[in-house]
Structure 1
Amino acid sequence: MGIDEILTNKQQQVLDSYLHDDWKFLILTGAFRAGKTIMNNYLFIMELKRIARLSIQRKDPHPQYILAGYSSNSIYTNVISAIESYFGITMKTDRHGHYHLLGIDIVPSYTGSIRGVGSIRGMTSYGAYINEASLATHDVFQEILQRCSVEGARIICDTNPDIPTHWLKTDYIDNHDPKARIKSFTFTIDDNTFLSKDYVESIKAATPRGMFYDRGILGQWVTGDGIVYQDFNKDKMVIPRDRVPDGLDYYVGVDWGYEHPNPIILLGDDKDGNTYVLEDYTQKHKFINYWVEIAKNLQTRFGRNLIFYADSARPDNVNEFQSNGLNCINANKNVLPGIECVARKMREGKFYVVDTASSGLLDEIYQYAWDESTGLPLKENDVRHNDRLDAIRYAIYSRNKKGGFIPWN
């Protein structure tokens, strides 16, 4: 089997750099599904082989290496499980939670929290593989680098793009000081020539315009520009109630409030994946008993299995709903994936709002803009609120993520 059947042209460029360039950091950045993590998994095995030889030269009977990722689940899914499939090997953990391969003690470190430094504090490492590096807490990332103090230690990373002022971009990817010895490669989705043409064309057409396309397809480190939901089309998406089909799968989004609005939004999905915003119950200065009655009324109309996806910031309110027999659960509030999930429905023409529920929601959509400094939507203030949009995002993303829609993997 030739190398062209195993690696794309971009991956071969990375391999050539790995083998022949003088580097301390090798960073693969860019679009999702572009082949970054697969390539780094190969390099991970090659690094373990190199370290095994180096440890013999150093007469070190217990060489250690750091395998870092956002969480234990992401490390297993993105690295361990993939390597087991590719190479037909089994990697089990010992009683300390460490993996072992080729005589190397592989120590997991979880970068999503400062607590991730606990597993590696004090160790001396021959190197590190950092998966999803832009999601890492900066302090944990720095601690990992400090642990890699054996002569010849190297760090490989892969990452999706973030805002252009992110520390990984400014301090590492854009650092061209020869003494830093940093090599980086940017991948676009078109670099993965093993993907089917139909898949690439479909994902390009479905990805929302603006930041999501620039990051997810082109692999660019950009902030948002202008309105968040650029694909919302009032003329096509605001419809009369008689255009809503029967037999929808109903569910509810809830964003708790008092001084600022508290929306309860009824939604429904049809069998083709279209989502309809059906009813909007939004008020200020109402106590929980008021919202319990609204929710009970919805439950009576749409069945006891009706799920309320609620803001987890008020566990007392969630508990009050549950104690009144309402099927209320904490929503998945992940902001960017949630926004992309909603925006993708708009992009695909699968998002509709019943006209009687549209007035306040339209005001929010047209004012929902990106903050250039953070890459997130602008914070609400005394004038601008996005409570309805938050409730809708909680509901739609929680519903769709359960079915496996995780766009940034």
Structure 2
Amino acid sequence: MDKTIEISSKQAEYIRNATHRWNFKIGATQCGKTYIDTLFLIPERIRERAGLKGLVFIAGVSKGTIQRNVIEPLQEIWGNKLVTDIGSNNIATIFGEKVYCIGADNVGMVRKFRGARIKYLYIDEVVDINEEVFELLKSRLSFEYSVGEGSGNPQSRTHYIKRFLESDVDVYVQHYTLFDNPFLPKKVVEEMCKEYKGTVYYNRYILGQWCNAEGLIFQQIANDDKRFITTTIQYNSIISIGIDWGGNKSKHSITATKISRNFKSVQVLKSSTMKATGTNTKQVFRWIINFIKEIQDKYGTVSFIFADSAEQVLNNSLNGELRANEINLVV
């Protein structure tokens, strides 16, 4: 019977190059990051350090996720005799070695190991780990042969793990996209791309990119703006104006929209911005008043005006300016 196990070129590349003190696989979901760990790397790291001083740790979001994401896949490949379940004492036995399985949700449990000296540390879902827990575990790699390893899906560009990976520590990082897994059915890949298209999760879970959520709310519109542009004004709608007060690094902005009375559609009538630096309130209020009058003259009565609630002083002053200009609206 053929017992050959295929791995991807990306997984083979990681085995060749993951020879540093820290080794990480960061990227898309279902791209084979954890599979190569349970198939080869975790057993290999543990066995090559057998008999050496130090403890073996597996950390994860919780004890339950470690059991589900690491221990059970190990058992499926290597069997329950070589890999046991996690006991009530948080210890599993893997290839004859005691392995401490610590959930990062239990910070108190992790603190009990402040004096531990770790020879091998594997971190499942490393990006989701509490920073305090990561820092504590990081400080316990006490030997020249100590190795820390992990995998995870990227989150924001300011994440502490991203900063760590880009620092001058001895670290090897491999990046994965969904398309790096040649064993995933083409139909599954196509459907996942459809399901995440136009969202921040497409960048994170499909392309494996560190990506901030801000500014991506209307990405589908930005990618195909002509589809959403119309010269036909919808009637039987409510006209609303929104104001976002700017600051030192941002502009004031104002937008007028028409909202259908069944609340199933929104049409942007006009938007405008003004520099926040170098302008006084008189100039800003005159800009707003002129904008409102233009919308009323062109499209009809404005029913509502909303503004950033954090700037209550400006809102109160604007209400006075609206009354002075006989505009019957309250912010």
Give your verdict on TM over 0.5: yes
Q: Structure 1 residues 159 and 105, CA, compared in 2 at 3 Å: closer, same or farther? A: same
Structure 2: segments with no counterpart, 5+ residues: 229-259, 268-306, 312-331
Q: Equivalents in 2 of 1:218, 1:116: separation in Å?
A: 35
Residues in 1 aligned to 2:131 and 2:113: alpha-carbon distance in whole angstroms: 15
- Counterpart of 2:10 in structure 1 is 10
Secondary structure at the aligned position of 2:89 is classed as coil
8 A Cα contact 2:22 2:149, kept in partner: yes
Is contact 1:210–1:225 with CA below 8 Å preserved after alignment?
no
> In the alignment, residue 50 of structure 1 is paired with which amino acid?
E
Deviations 1:3-31 (A, max 9, x none): 6x42111000001113xx4x100000000
Secondary structure (helix, strand or coil) at the match of 2:49 reads helix
1:25 aligns with 2:37: no
Cα deviation digits, residues 159-207 of structure 1 (max 9, x gap):
10011121111122x23x3xx2210100010101010111111111221
**Residue 102 (structure 2) aligns with:** 109
Q: Against the structure 1 CA distance between its residues 106 and 383, is the aligned structure 2 distance closer, same or farther, given a 3 Å change threshold?
A: same
Alignment of structure 1 residues 263-282 onto 2, 5 Å: none
The 5 A counterparts of 1:330-341 are none
Q: Quote the Cα distance in structure 1 between the aligned partners of 2:74 and 2:266.
A: 47
Aligned to 1:181: 170
Residues 133, 158 of structure 1: 8 Å contact kept: yes
Aligned to 1:358: 263
Evaluate the alpha carbon distance shift between residue 188 and residue 131 of structure 1 in structure 2; reply closer, same or farther with a 3 A threshold. Answer: same
CA distance in 1, matches of 2:32, 2:204: 15
Assess, with a 3 A threshold, how the Cα gap between structure 1 residues 195 and 356 changes in structure 2: closer, same or farther. same
Identify the residue that residue 382 of structure 1 maps to in structure 2. Answer: 309
Could you report, residue by residue, the CA deviation over 1:337-381 in whole angstroms, capped at 9, with x for unpaired residues? xxxxxxxxxxxxxxxxxx76627x969xxxxxxxxxxxxxxxx96
- 2:31–2:176 contact (8 Å) kept in structure 1: yes
- Write the letter of the residue equivalent to 1:226: G
Q: Secondary structure of the equivalent of 1:212?
A: helix
Deviation (angstroms), 1:2 = 8.1
State the match for 2:121 in structure 1: 128
Aligned equivalent of 2:61: 70
Q: 1:356 to 1:103 in 2, by over 3 A?
A: same
Q: Please give the secondary structure, in 1, of the residue aligned with 2:151.
A: strand
SS in 2 for 1:155: strand
In 2, Cα distance between equivalents of 1:362 and 1:98? 56
Please say if 1:160 is aligned against 2:146: no
- Compute the TM-score of the two structures, normalised by the length of structure 1: 0.52
Q: 1:161 to 1:186 in 2, by over 3 A?
A: same
Residue 148 (structure 1) shift: 1.9
Give 2:192's aligned amino acid: I
Percent identity, please: 22
Residue identity matched to 2:63: S
What one-letter code is carried by the residue in structure 2 that aligns with 1:193?
A: P
Unaligned runs of 5+ in 1: 237-354, 364-379, 385-409
| One-letter code aligned to 2:263 | S
After TM superposition, list the pairs within 5 Å mapping 1:4-403 onto structure 2.
5-18=5-18, 21=19, 23-41=20-38, 42-52=40-50, 55=51, 58=52, 63-89=54-80, 90-112=83-105, 114-172=107-165, 174-175=166-167, 177=168, 180-228=169-217, 230-231=219-220, 358=263, 382=309
The CA deviation at 1:382 is 2.2
CA-atom RMSD in angstroms? 2.9
Deviation at 1:114, TM superposition (A): 3.3
Once the 2 structures are TM-superposed, how far is the Cα of residue 95 of structure 1 from its aligned partner?
A: 4.5
